[in-house]
Amino acid sequence: MTQQNTSSSFTLRAVGQVRSALTDLATAPRQADEGAPPAWLDFDPAVADALAGIQPGDEIIVVTWLDRADRGILANHPRGDASRPRTGVFGTRSPHRPNPLGLHQVRVAAVEPLRLQVDGLEAIDGTPIVDVKAVLDADVTRR
């Protein structure tokens, strides 16, 4: 395979979307531990087989595409707090970044055909889902 270069681009396809009582970006919590409600993840029938084996109680990482983010912002004041120094977005969890991927570690509460209910998710209703992954020990033991 030829060497990649940084002008490469790739096509990400939504595999589902978030269904949540959160509909307003302005009032949504910034992080899941700040009062985010349960949500449903609705999946496209085309990816049904990819959900096989996921059980209530599983910890998963949901990857979303934060489609309302500003991809041109490279640095900002963390949490919009002007008293905090401007920081490059790669050192933060700002939704605004060149590729606005959201990572959400959640616990599966219920499993239905083509749907998973999860605990506290801060993404708003309609947010596209692009991937779901198992949590590894390596994600949580390396601090």
Residues in 27-66 at the binding interface with a second copy, rule: CB under 8 A: 31-33, 42-44, 47-54, 58-61, 63, 65
Q: How far is the CB of 61 from a second copy (least distance, A)?
A: 7
Nearest to residue 24, comparing CAs of 143, 123, 114?
123
Cα–Cα distances in angstroms (integers) from residue 71 to residues 10, 45, 66, in the given order: 16, 30, 10
User: Interface with a second copy includes 70 (CB under 8 A)?
Assistant: no
Q: How far is the CB of 122 from a second copy (least distance, A)?
A: 10
User: Interface with a second copy includes 84 (CB under 8 A)?
Assistant: no
User: Interface with a second copy includes 135 (CB under 8 A)?
Assistant: yes
The answer to whether 114 and 128 have CB atoms below 8 angstroms apart is: no
The answer to whether 19 and 41 have CB atoms below 8 angstroms apart is: yes
In angstroms, the CA 77 to CA 89 distance is 9
Number of Cβ within a 10 Å radius of residue 81: 9
Amino acid in position 25: L
For the segment 90-129, give every residue that binds a second copy (CB under 8 A).
90-93, 97-99, 101, 103, 105-107, 126-128
User: Interface with a second copy includes 7 (CB under 8 A)?
Assistant: yes
Q: How far is the CB of 89 from a second copy (least distance, A)?
A: 5
User: Interface with a second copy includes 75 (CB under 8 A)?
Assistant: yes
